[in-house]
Amino acid sequence: MNTVQKEKLSSKKYKKEFITAFNGDDSGNLTPRQTPGMLYSKAIPTPVEKVTLLAWSEELAAQLGIEKPTDQKEIDVLGGKHIADTMYPYAACYAGHQFGNWAGQLGDGRAITLGEWETETSKSWELQLKGAGPTPYSRRADGRAVLRSSVREYLMSEAMHYLGVPTTRALSLVTTGEPVLRDMFYNGNAAYEPGAIVMRTAPSFLRFGNFEMLAARKELDNLQQLVNWTIDHYYPHIQDEDKVLNWFKEIVDRTAKLMVEWMRVGFVHGVMNTDNMSILGLTIDYGPYSFVDDYDPDFTPNTTDLPGRRYAFSKQPSIAYWNLGCLAGALAPLFPDTKKLVEVLETYKQVYWTNYYGMMGKKLGLDQVSGEDVQLIKELEQMLTAIKPDMTIFFQLLIDLPLEMADAAAVEEHFNTALYSELNEDEKDQLYTFVLKYTARINANSCTREASQELMRRTNPRFVLRNYLLHQAIEELEQGKDELFTKLQAAIKEPYSDKYDEFFQTRPEWASQKAGCSMLSCSS
């Protein structure tokens, strides 16, 4: 068995392909400002008082060939207090549509990319610090992050990876020894919270907004260069004369399939602005996210998203399509006309629905998905919306559903542990009617019951990182305890097993209205 040769963060020779290829502001001036013509600005992290390692992703480090820091100099790299000789810290310039409105220049206001780490397989991963101080794109903010949001980003990005959802990753979490002032719900109740920094990684953090920025400024040479560079580096298999169109088609496909994965596990991003959409089809920027507890298509975890609920659970696929339309608009100046671009954009719906119904078929344990099965899936969604069971627990109980149920009362009893409230007669009838149709369909499978159940176990997570668990872990950490935090780090790695069934329960009543458990803001 080949072992990856590990290198230290401080002695690695980092690549600088992005900053070498494009114009940037090398002044190091951190004053917030517009940077026309520049794709990035140099941004040296602001040193903190004391960097203390709180969490380290052993598996990701092994994959990248990074040696776990043991001495303080190496740990300081994770907090931006020590910069390796070959690093070039910078913040990227991008724009975006936020809550449907054009926001103009945004950029990395709280993230600083240190450099590109090349692995033994010659693949490069950007190493980026979130919370390491102000950048020219911080506007009125301090560029810092608090422990609360940093724990959430660290754990959830890794949790999504183990769920099988495309995502950026998190390598480390450190505390800074410095308090940070935050108004958690933007309601005038600011308070000091412990500071923290996450080192997150991805092949690229490029977003739809990077391309929107250049198009908005009519910097068409820069736009063409960025498109070509992105294709060459991250889509090298696309090299024909229609490569820009085919590249956009792959982004459409990846984004559609990412939405299917979010819907599969019940993930709600909370702030699907175009500046939070990855050009690689990854889940990026973990802010006011949540998993669905009681099934509600209109659920949004983001207080900023009220009352319109633009980014609610069921709306995510259509928002992704809207965001792709914004990206298409940014690419439009590179085409003589937009007809073909629009045609590619319109393939999104077919890609999404084909993959969505295929995914739902797997969640239900179907051997294939026919037109009649699509109707069954729609009836399932209507029933779930009516009775609002816990999404994760409901699908787990469905796996072991007896194929012969005596009556509606027996069916309700089987699903009882997934229910947040007692069902009325109409709801009982809806559940029973669905179960009768579902068991008849399962009996018609060409595969064995065991094969069907195994498919369901691979598709339906048993453990998801619920907000109330995160809230409890954060409260404990702020009190100097790490027992739950340590347990959650282990549980996220085995989301399809029953090893951590102590967490296999509905959201407790106390968490329904508690700040940080049910609703969150973009504050970090």
User: pLDDT tens for residues 51-64?
Assistant: 999 999 999 999 99
pTM recorded for the entire structure: 0.97
**pLDDT band at residue 523 under the 50/70/90 scheme:** low
pLDDT at 5: 84
Phi, psi of 57 (to 5 degrees): -90, 95
Least confident of 126-140, 159-173, 503-517: 503-517
The separation between CA 46 and the C-alpha centre of its own chain, rounded to angstroms, equals 27
130, 110 Cβ separation under 8 angstroms: yes
What count of other Cβ atoms lies within 10 Å of the Cβ of residue 403? Answer: 11
Model confidence over 146-201: pLDDT tens digits?
999 999 999 999 999 999 999 999 999 999 999 999 887 677 788 999 999 999 99
For 385-407, what is each residue's pLDDT tens digit?
999 999 999 999 999 999 988 79
pLDDT averaged over every residue in the chain: 96
Interatomic CA distance for residues 42 and 348, integer angstroms: 37
Q: How much is the pLDDT for 1?
A: 46
Q: Please give the average per-residue pLDDT across 329-354, as a whole number.
A: 97
- 3: confidence class by pLDDT, cuts 50, 70, 90: low
| CB-facing half-sphere around the CA of 80: CA atoms within 13 A | 34
Reported as type and span, the H/E element at residue 459 is helix 449-459
Q: Is the distance from CB of 488 to CB of 447 less than 8 angstroms?
A: no
DSSP per position, 155-216: HHHHHHHHHT--B-EEEEEEEEEEEEEE-TTSSS--EEEEEEEEEEEES---BHHHHHHHHH
Is a pLDDT exceeding 90 seen at residue 379?
Answer: yes
Residue-wise pLDDT for 285-312, tens only, equals 999 999 999 999 999 999 999 899 999 9
Are 316 and 291 in contact by the 8 Å Cβ rule? The answer is no
Active site residues: 275
Angle at 76 (CA atoms; ends 70, 81), nearest 5 degrees: 170
Which residue, 299, 517, 474, is CA-closest to 388? Answer: 299
Q: Report the Cα 82 to chain-centroid distance in Å.
A: 28
Residue 516 is predicted with a pLDDT of 78
Confidence of residue 2 (pLDDT cuts 50, 70, 90): low
Residue 270: φ, ψ to 5°: 95, -25
